[in-house]
Amino acid sequence: MNEIRTYQKNEVIFKENEKISHIYFVQSGKISLGWVKNNKFIELPISQVPTILGEQALSGVNIHSYQAVAIQETKVLQIPVEQLKNQLDTISQVFKMIVKLSLDKHKFLFNELKALKLEQQAVPFPEDKIAKCFMSLYVASVNKGQTHRLPNSEKTVVTIQWPSLKLYLHKMFDEPPKRCEFAIQILKKIGLAEIIMGTPPDDPEGAEVILEVQFLDIKFLEWFSEFYQYYYFRPDKAHVVRYEEFIFKMIEIILELAKKDPSHKGNARIAINKLNEQLKKTLNTQFSSDHQLRLENKGVLLKRVTHNQESLLELEVPELERMLSAWRISHEIDKLNQKGFVDFNEQTNLVTDKTDSLCPQCSEKIEKNHKFCPQCGYRLCA
Protein backbone atom coordinates (compact mmCIF):
# COMPACT_ATOMS: atom_id res chain seq x y z
CA MET A 1 0.00 0.00 0.00
CA ASN A 2 1.29 3.43 -0.95
CA GLU A 3 2.06 5.73 1.98
CA ILE A 4 3.23 9.32 2.23
CA ARG A 5 5.28 9.70 5.38
CA THR A 6 6.91 12.75 6.91
CA TYR A 7 10.33 12.16 8.48
CA GLN A 8 11.57 14.64 11.07
CA LYS A 9 15.10 16.04 11.31
CA ASN A 10 17.74 13.33 12.07
CA GLU A 11 15.17 10.53 11.67
CA VAL A 12 16.51 7.44 9.89
CA ILE A 13 14.58 6.51 6.73
CA PHE A 14 16.36 3.17 6.41
CA LYS A 15 19.61 1.65 7.63
CA GLU A 16 22.50 0.03 5.83
CA ASN A 17 22.10 -3.76 5.37
CA GLU A 18 18.35 -3.63 6.05
CA LYS A 19 16.07 -5.59 3.72
CA ILE A 20 14.57 -3.39 1.00
CA SER A 21 10.82 -3.44 1.55
CA HIS A 22 9.83 -0.20 -0.20
CA ILE A 23 10.89 2.12 -2.98
CA TYR A 24 11.18 5.66 -1.58
CA PHE A 25 10.26 8.71 -3.66
CA VAL A 26 11.61 11.72 -1.75
CA GLN A 27 9.29 14.60 -2.61
CA SER A 28 10.55 17.46 -0.44
CA GLY A 29 13.05 18.21 2.31
CA LYS A 30 16.70 17.22 2.53
CA ILE A 31 18.45 13.88 3.08
CA SER A 32 21.91 12.55 3.87
CA LEU A 33 23.14 9.30 2.31
CA GLY A 34 26.12 7.28 3.42
CA TRP A 35 27.39 4.23 5.25
CA VAL A 36 29.51 3.28 8.24
CA LYS A 37 33.03 1.93 7.76
CA ASN A 38 35.51 1.38 10.59
CA ASN A 39 33.10 3.17 12.96
CA LYS A 40 33.16 6.25 10.71
CA PHE A 41 30.19 7.62 8.79
CA ILE A 42 31.08 8.27 5.15
CA GLU A 43 28.64 10.67 3.53
CA LEU A 44 27.83 10.71 -0.18
CA PRO A 45 27.26 14.05 -1.93
CA ILE A 46 23.90 12.83 -3.29
CA SER A 47 21.10 14.65 -1.52
CA GLN A 48 19.13 16.35 -4.28
CA VAL A 49 15.35 16.39 -3.93
CA PRO A 50 13.17 15.03 -5.49
CA THR A 51 14.97 11.70 -5.78
CA ILE A 52 14.38 7.97 -5.56
CA LEU A 53 15.87 5.53 -3.05
CA GLY A 54 15.82 1.74 -2.87
CA GLU A 55 15.39 1.41 -6.63
CA GLN A 56 18.11 -1.26 -6.72
CA ALA A 57 15.43 -3.71 -5.53
CA LEU A 58 14.01 -3.60 -9.07
CA SER A 59 17.32 -5.09 -10.27
CA GLY A 60 17.20 -7.96 -7.79
CA VAL A 61 19.22 -6.40 -4.94
CA ASN A 62 17.45 -7.15 -1.65
CA ILE A 63 19.63 -5.25 0.87
CA HIS A 64 20.25 -1.51 1.27
CA SER A 65 23.94 -0.77 0.64
CA TYR A 66 23.76 2.60 2.43
CA GLN A 67 21.64 4.42 4.98
CA ALA A 68 19.39 7.43 4.50
CA VAL A 69 18.73 10.08 7.14
CA ALA A 70 16.44 13.10 6.94
CA ILE A 71 18.39 16.23 7.86
CA GLN A 72 15.29 18.41 7.86
CA GLU A 73 11.55 17.68 7.66
CA THR A 74 11.23 15.42 4.61
CA LYS A 75 8.16 14.02 2.81
CA VAL A 76 8.56 10.57 1.27
CA LEU A 77 6.18 8.47 -0.84
CA GLN A 78 6.78 4.81 0.05
CA ILE A 79 5.67 2.08 -2.37
CA PRO A 80 6.11 -1.64 -1.57
CA VAL A 81 8.67 -3.31 -3.83
CA GLU A 82 6.34 -6.09 -4.97
CA GLN A 83 3.62 -3.62 -5.90
CA LEU A 84 5.98 -1.61 -8.09
CA LYS A 85 7.38 -4.76 -9.71
CA ASN A 86 3.86 -5.85 -10.64
CA GLN A 87 3.20 -2.46 -12.24
CA LEU A 88 6.44 -2.65 -14.22
CA ASP A 89 5.42 -6.07 -15.58
CA THR A 90 2.48 -4.42 -17.34
CA ILE A 91 4.51 -1.93 -19.40
CA SER A 92 5.86 -2.56 -22.89
CA GLN A 93 9.25 -4.18 -23.56
CA VAL A 94 10.69 -0.89 -24.82
CA PHE A 95 9.95 0.88 -21.53
CA LYS A 96 11.19 -2.14 -19.57
CA MET A 97 14.51 -1.84 -21.44
CA ILE A 98 14.69 1.91 -20.71
CA VAL A 99 14.07 1.29 -16.99
CA LYS A 100 16.66 -1.51 -16.85
CA LEU A 101 19.36 0.50 -18.65
CA SER A 102 18.69 3.53 -16.43
CA LEU A 103 18.96 1.42 -13.30
CA ASP A 104 22.17 -0.20 -14.51
CA LYS A 105 23.67 3.18 -15.35
CA HIS A 106 22.70 4.58 -11.95
CA LYS A 107 24.14 1.52 -10.20
CA PHE A 108 27.46 1.88 -12.06
CA LEU A 109 27.77 5.59 -11.24
CA PHE A 110 26.81 5.01 -7.61
CA ASN A 111 29.41 2.25 -7.18
CA GLU A 112 32.10 4.43 -8.80
CA LEU A 113 31.29 7.29 -6.44
CA LYS A 114 31.25 4.93 -3.45
CA ALA A 115 34.66 3.54 -4.42
CA LEU A 116 36.05 7.08 -4.73
CA LYS A 117 34.69 8.04 -1.32
CA LEU A 118 36.10 4.90 0.26
CA GLU A 119 39.47 5.72 -1.22
CA GLN A 120 39.30 9.21 0.27
CA GLN A 121 37.82 7.92 3.57
CA ALA A 122 35.49 10.89 3.62
CA VAL A 123 33.67 11.67 6.86
CA PRO A 124 31.49 14.66 7.78
CA PHE A 125 34.20 16.10 10.04
CA PRO A 126 37.78 14.87 9.29
CA GLU A 127 40.04 14.92 12.33
CA ASP A 128 42.79 16.84 10.54
CA LYS A 129 40.32 19.68 9.81
CA ILE A 130 39.05 20.15 13.38
CA ALA A 131 41.58 22.77 14.52
CA LYS A 132 41.24 24.77 11.29
CA CYS A 133 37.44 24.78 11.42
CA PHE A 134 37.21 26.02 15.02
CA MET A 135 39.93 28.62 14.51
CA SER A 136 38.09 29.82 11.41
CA LEU A 137 34.91 30.19 13.48
CA TYR A 138 36.87 32.20 16.05
CA VAL A 139 38.49 34.56 13.54
CA ALA A 140 35.27 35.09 11.56
CA SER A 141 33.20 35.77 14.69
CA VAL A 142 35.73 38.20 16.16
CA ASN A 143 35.90 40.14 12.88
CA LYS A 144 32.27 40.02 11.79
CA GLY A 145 30.31 39.43 15.01
CA GLN A 146 28.94 41.83 17.61
CA THR A 147 30.06 41.54 21.25
CA HIS A 148 27.60 42.36 24.01
CA ARG A 149 26.91 41.51 27.64
CA LEU A 150 24.15 39.16 28.69
CA PRO A 151 21.38 40.77 30.79
CA ASN A 152 22.14 40.69 34.53
CA SER A 153 25.50 39.01 33.91
CA GLU A 154 29.18 39.83 33.56
CA LYS A 155 29.52 37.36 30.70
CA THR A 156 29.92 38.59 27.13
CA VAL A 157 28.72 36.79 24.04
CA VAL A 158 29.44 37.22 20.34
CA THR A 159 26.45 37.24 17.99
CA ILE A 160 26.78 36.88 14.24
CA GLN A 161 24.33 36.44 11.37
CA TRP A 162 24.59 32.90 10.02
CA PRO A 163 24.45 33.86 6.30
CA SER A 164 27.35 36.33 6.68
CA LEU A 165 29.32 33.89 8.87
CA LYS A 166 28.84 31.10 6.34
CA LEU A 167 29.92 33.33 3.45
CA TYR A 168 32.98 34.66 5.31
CA LEU A 169 34.12 31.15 6.28
CA HIS A 170 33.80 29.92 2.72
CA LYS A 171 35.50 32.87 1.05
CA MET A 172 38.32 33.44 3.54
CA PHE A 173 39.06 29.92 4.78
CA ASP A 174 37.46 27.62 2.20
CA GLU A 175 35.49 25.96 5.01
CA PRO A 176 32.44 23.94 3.87
CA PRO A 177 29.27 25.47 5.36
CA LYS A 178 27.96 22.06 6.45
CA ARG A 179 31.11 21.30 8.47
CA CYS A 180 30.85 24.69 10.17
CA GLU A 181 27.20 24.04 10.94
CA PHE A 182 28.16 20.72 12.53
CA ALA A 183 30.77 22.51 14.67
CA ILE A 184 28.17 25.06 15.85
CA GLN A 185 25.67 22.29 16.62
CA ILE A 186 28.30 20.53 18.75
CA LEU A 187 29.06 23.78 20.60
CA LYS A 188 25.33 24.20 21.23
CA LYS A 189 25.04 20.64 22.54
CA ILE A 190 27.81 21.15 25.11
CA GLY A 191 26.47 24.56 26.16
CA LEU A 192 28.96 26.90 24.47
CA ALA A 193 26.73 28.33 21.73
CA GLU A 194 23.12 29.16 20.94
CA ILE A 195 21.42 28.82 17.56
CA ILE A 196 18.56 31.20 16.75
CA MET A 197 16.14 29.67 14.29
CA GLY A 198 13.42 31.38 12.26
CA THR A 199 11.88 31.78 8.86
CA PRO A 200 13.90 33.63 6.20
CA PRO A 201 12.93 37.32 5.84
CA ASP A 202 12.34 36.80 2.11
CA ASP A 203 10.16 33.70 2.70
CA PRO A 204 8.00 34.14 5.82
CA GLU A 205 6.01 31.00 5.01
CA GLY A 206 9.08 28.83 4.43
CA ALA A 207 10.76 26.28 6.68
CA GLU A 208 12.81 27.44 9.67
CA VAL A 209 16.50 28.01 9.07
CA ILE A 210 19.45 29.24 11.13
CA LEU A 211 19.34 33.04 11.42
CA GLU A 212 21.95 33.86 14.07
CA VAL A 213 24.62 32.15 16.12
CA GLN A 214 25.70 33.19 19.61
CA PHE A 215 29.09 32.09 20.94
CA LEU A 216 28.97 32.07 24.74
CA ASP A 217 32.74 31.72 25.23
CA ILE A 218 34.54 32.97 22.14
CA LYS A 219 37.99 32.68 23.76
CA PHE A 220 37.46 28.96 24.20
CA LEU A 221 37.36 28.50 20.42
CA GLU A 222 40.84 29.97 20.14
CA TRP A 223 42.13 27.87 23.06
CA PHE A 224 40.60 24.66 21.71
CA SER A 225 42.08 25.18 18.23
CA GLU A 226 45.56 25.72 19.67
CA PHE A 227 45.18 22.79 22.07
CA TYR A 228 43.95 20.40 19.37
CA GLN A 229 46.52 21.25 16.71
CA TYR A 230 49.38 21.13 19.23
CA TYR A 231 48.60 17.58 20.36
CA TYR A 232 46.88 16.01 17.35
CA PHE A 233 49.76 16.57 14.92
CA ARG A 234 52.30 15.06 17.32
CA PRO A 235 52.16 11.24 16.98
CA ASP A 236 53.40 10.71 20.54
CA LYS A 237 50.79 13.10 21.98
CA ALA A 238 47.72 12.56 19.80
CA HIS A 239 46.06 10.47 22.54
CA VAL A 240 45.69 13.64 24.66
CA VAL A 241 42.84 14.92 22.49
CA ARG A 242 41.00 11.58 22.50
CA TYR A 243 37.95 11.09 24.68
CA GLU A 244 38.37 8.48 27.44
CA GLU A 245 35.10 7.90 29.23
CA PHE A 246 36.47 6.82 32.61
CA ILE A 247 38.99 9.69 32.76
CA PHE A 248 36.26 12.11 31.72
CA LYS A 249 33.91 10.93 34.50
CA MET A 250 36.72 11.11 37.07
CA ILE A 251 37.51 14.73 36.15
CA GLU A 252 33.80 15.58 36.40
CA ILE A 253 33.75 14.25 39.97
CA ILE A 254 36.98 16.11 40.86
CA LEU A 255 35.54 19.38 39.51
CA GLU A 256 32.26 18.88 41.34
CA LEU A 257 34.16 18.60 44.64
CA ALA A 258 36.50 21.48 43.76
CA LYS A 259 33.62 23.88 43.17
CA LYS A 260 32.43 23.29 46.74
CA ASP A 261 35.76 24.57 48.04
CA PRO A 262 36.44 28.35 47.95
CA SER A 263 39.12 28.86 45.34
CA HIS A 264 41.66 31.61 44.78
CA LYS A 265 42.28 32.69 41.19
CA GLY A 266 40.89 29.40 39.90
CA ASN A 267 43.00 27.18 42.19
CA ALA A 268 41.28 24.68 44.47
CA ARG A 269 42.12 21.88 46.87
CA ILE A 270 40.05 18.77 47.53
CA ALA A 271 40.45 16.11 50.21
CA ILE A 272 41.47 12.76 48.72
CA ASN A 273 39.33 10.86 51.24
CA LYS A 274 36.23 12.77 50.02
CA LEU A 275 37.26 12.09 46.43
CA ASN A 276 37.57 8.38 47.18
CA GLU A 277 34.07 8.35 48.67
CA GLN A 278 32.60 9.78 45.47
CA LEU A 279 34.71 7.57 43.19
CA LYS A 280 33.68 4.45 45.11
CA LYS A 281 30.03 5.45 44.93
CA THR A 282 29.92 6.32 41.24
CA LEU A 283 32.81 4.55 39.49
CA ASN A 284 33.58 1.71 41.93
CA THR A 285 37.23 2.68 42.36
CA GLN A 286 39.56 4.79 44.52
CA PHE A 287 42.10 7.39 43.49
CA SER A 288 45.58 5.91 43.13
CA SER A 289 49.00 6.83 41.76
CA ASP A 290 48.11 4.90 38.60
CA HIS A 291 45.06 7.13 38.12
CA GLN A 292 47.21 10.22 38.63
CA LEU A 293 49.68 8.97 36.02
CA ARG A 294 46.85 8.33 33.55
CA LEU A 295 45.58 11.86 34.14
CA GLU A 296 49.06 13.29 33.55
CA ASN A 297 49.25 11.31 30.31
CA LYS A 298 46.07 13.12 29.25
CA GLY A 299 47.56 16.52 30.04
CA VAL A 300 45.82 16.92 33.43
CA LEU A 301 48.21 18.02 36.18
CA LEU A 302 47.14 17.37 39.78
CA LYS A 303 49.47 18.06 42.69
CA ARG A 304 49.36 16.06 45.92
CA VAL A 305 49.87 18.23 49.01
CA THR A 306 49.47 17.75 52.75
CA HIS A 307 47.75 20.30 54.99
CA ASN A 308 47.04 19.71 58.68
CA GLN A 309 47.97 16.07 58.20
CA GLU A 310 45.30 15.70 55.51
CA SER A 311 46.11 14.53 51.97
CA LEU A 312 44.82 16.94 49.34
CA LEU A 313 44.78 17.33 45.57
CA GLU A 314 45.58 20.79 44.20
CA LEU A 315 44.22 21.74 40.80
CA GLU A 316 43.33 24.59 38.45
CA VAL A 317 39.56 24.61 37.94
CA PRO A 318 39.44 26.67 34.69
CA GLU A 319 42.04 24.44 33.05
CA LEU A 320 40.15 21.26 33.90
CA GLU A 321 36.88 22.77 32.69
CA ARG A 322 38.50 23.60 29.34
CA MET A 323 39.90 20.07 29.07
CA LEU A 324 36.45 18.57 29.68
CA SER A 325 34.92 20.78 26.99
CA ALA A 326 37.70 19.82 24.55
CA TRP A 327 37.10 16.11 25.15
CA ARG A 328 33.34 16.64 24.77
CA ILE A 329 33.94 18.17 21.34
CA SER A 330 36.27 15.35 20.33
CA HIS A 331 33.72 12.77 21.49
CA GLU A 332 30.83 14.50 19.70
CA ILE A 333 32.84 14.63 16.47
CA ASP A 334 33.53 10.88 16.74
CA LYS A 335 29.80 10.23 17.13
CA LEU A 336 29.00 12.62 14.28
CA ASN A 337 31.37 10.73 11.98
CA GLN A 338 29.64 7.48 12.91
CA LYS A 339 26.02 8.64 12.71
CA GLY A 340 26.21 11.42 10.14
CA PHE A 341 24.45 13.98 12.35
CA VAL A 342 24.68 15.61 15.79
CA ASP A 343 22.30 13.71 18.05
CA PHE A 344 20.68 16.01 20.62
CA ASN A 345 18.47 13.25 22.04
CA GLU A 346 20.96 10.51 22.96
CA GLN A 347 21.20 9.00 26.41
CA THR A 348 24.47 8.28 28.20
CA ASN A 349 25.26 5.48 30.63
CA LEU A 350 27.52 5.70 33.67
CA VAL A 351 30.76 3.75 33.39
CA THR A 352 32.80 1.96 36.03
CA ASP A 353 36.57 1.75 36.37
CA LYS A 354 38.07 0.65 33.08
CA THR A 355 41.74 0.78 34.02
CA ASP A 356 42.08 -2.53 32.19
CA SER A 357 40.60 -1.24 28.93
CA LEU A 358 42.86 0.67 26.53
CA CYS A 359 46.43 1.90 26.43
CA PRO A 360 46.38 5.75 26.53
CA GLN A 361 49.05 5.88 23.78
CA CYS A 362 48.23 3.18 21.20
CA SER A 363 44.63 2.35 22.27
CA GLU A 364 45.34 -1.40 22.34
CA LYS A 365 43.62 -3.54 24.99
CA ILE A 366 45.45 -3.84 28.30
CA GLU A 367 44.73 -5.65 31.56
CA LYS A 368 44.64 -4.18 35.03
CA ASN A 369 47.80 -5.99 36.17
CA HIS A 370 49.90 -4.76 33.22
CA LYS A 371 52.71 -2.36 34.11
CA PHE A 372 53.62 -1.77 30.46
CA CYS A 373 51.51 -1.93 27.30
CA PRO A 374 52.28 -5.28 25.56
CA GLN A 375 51.81 -3.60 22.17
CA CYS A 376 53.84 -0.38 22.34
CA GLY A 377 55.70 -0.72 25.65
CA TYR A 378 54.05 2.37 27.14
CA ARG A 379 54.53 2.64 30.93
CA LEU A 380 51.13 2.24 32.60
CA CYS A 381 51.91 2.61 36.29
CA ALA A 382 54.25 4.61 38.48
By the 8 A CB rule, do 193 and 331 touch? no
CA distances for 15 relative to 51, 143, 321, 346, angstroms: 17, 42, 37, 18
Q: Are 93 and 143 in a shared domain? A: no
Residue 57 CB neighbours (<10 A): 21
Residue that terminates a domain, selected from 188, 210, 232? 232
For the domain that residue 33 is a member of, what is the CATH number?
A: 2.60.120.10
- Cα angle 342-335-285, degrees, rounded to a multiple of 5: 125
Domain-located, residue 156: yes
Relative to beta strand 267-271, strand 303-307 is: unpaired
If asked whether residues 48 and 134 sit together in one domain, one would say no
Task: For residue 44, give its domain range.
Answer: 3-120
Helix residue ranges, H only, 283-316: 289-297
Domain boundary (120, 153, 170) is at 120
142 plus 225 within the same structural domain: yes
Radius of gyration of the chain (CA): 26
Query: Are the C-beta atoms of residues 140 and 218 closer than 8 Å to each other?
Result: no
Same domain, 116 and 9: yes
**What does DSSP assign to residue 264?**
B
Model pLDDT, residue 350:
46
Q: CATH number, domain at 135?
A: 1.10.10.10
- Of 232, 256, 277, the residue that ends a domain is 232
> Has residue 99 been placed in a domain?
yes
- If asked whether residues 8 and 114 sit together in one domain, one would say yes
Structural domain includes residue 296: no
Let me know if residue 95 belongs to a domain: yes
pLDDT the model gives residue 355: 44
125 Cβ contact partners less than 8 Å away, ≥ 6 residues apart: 133, 179, 182, 183, 333, 336, 337
Q: How far apart are CA 281 and CA 285, in angstroms?
A: 8
Pairing of strands 22-28, 51-53: antiparallel
Please check whether residues 101 and 180 belong to one and the same domain: no
Asked if 8 and 85 sit in the same domain, the reply is yes
Instruction: Give pLDDT tens digits along the chain (382 positions).
Output: 678 999 998 899 998 888 899 999 999 988 888 877 656 677 776 667 888 898 888 888 888 888 898 888 999 999 998 888 888 888 888 888 888 888 888 888 877 777 666 655 567 888 889 999 999 999 999 999 999 887 777 788 999 999 999 999 999 999 999 999 999 999 999 999 999 999 988 888 888 899 999 999 999 999 999 999 999 888 678 889 999 999 999 999 999 998 877 666 678 889 999 999 999 998 888 898 888 888 998 999 899 999 888 898 988 999 999 999 999 999 999 999 888 899 998 865 544 444 445 565 555 566 666 667 766 666 665 4
Q: How far does the chain reach from its first CA to its final CA, in angstroms?
A: 67
64: Cα separation from own chain's centroid: 24
Q: Are residues 131 and 106 in the same domain?
A: no
Regarding whether 166 and 95 lie in a shared domain, the answer is no
30 and 79, same domain (yes or no)? yes
Ranges of H-type helices in 75-176: 81-88, 93-120, 130-144, 162-173
Q: What is the pLDDT of residue 377?
A: 65
Tell me if 9 is assigned to some domain.
yes
H-type helices in 174-316, by residue range?
A: 177-189, 218-232, 245-258, 272-282, 289-297
> By C-alpha distance, which of 263, 219, 244 is closest to 361?
244
Q: Do the domain assignments include residue 281?
A: no
Which residue in 35, 42, 30, 40 sits closest to 18, CA to CA? 35
| Residues 103 and 168 both lie in one domain | no
Q: Which amino acid is at 4?
A: I
104 inside domain: yes
Handedness of CA 361, 298, 239, 346 (dihedral sign): positive
85 and 12 share a domain?
yes
Q: How many other C-beta atoms can be found within 10 angstroms of the C-beta atom of residue 249?
A: 19
Is residue 178 one of the residues assigned to a domain? yes
Q: 264 CB contacts (<8 Å, ≥6 apart)?
A: none
d(CA 144, CA 128): 25
The total number of structural domains in the chain stands at 2
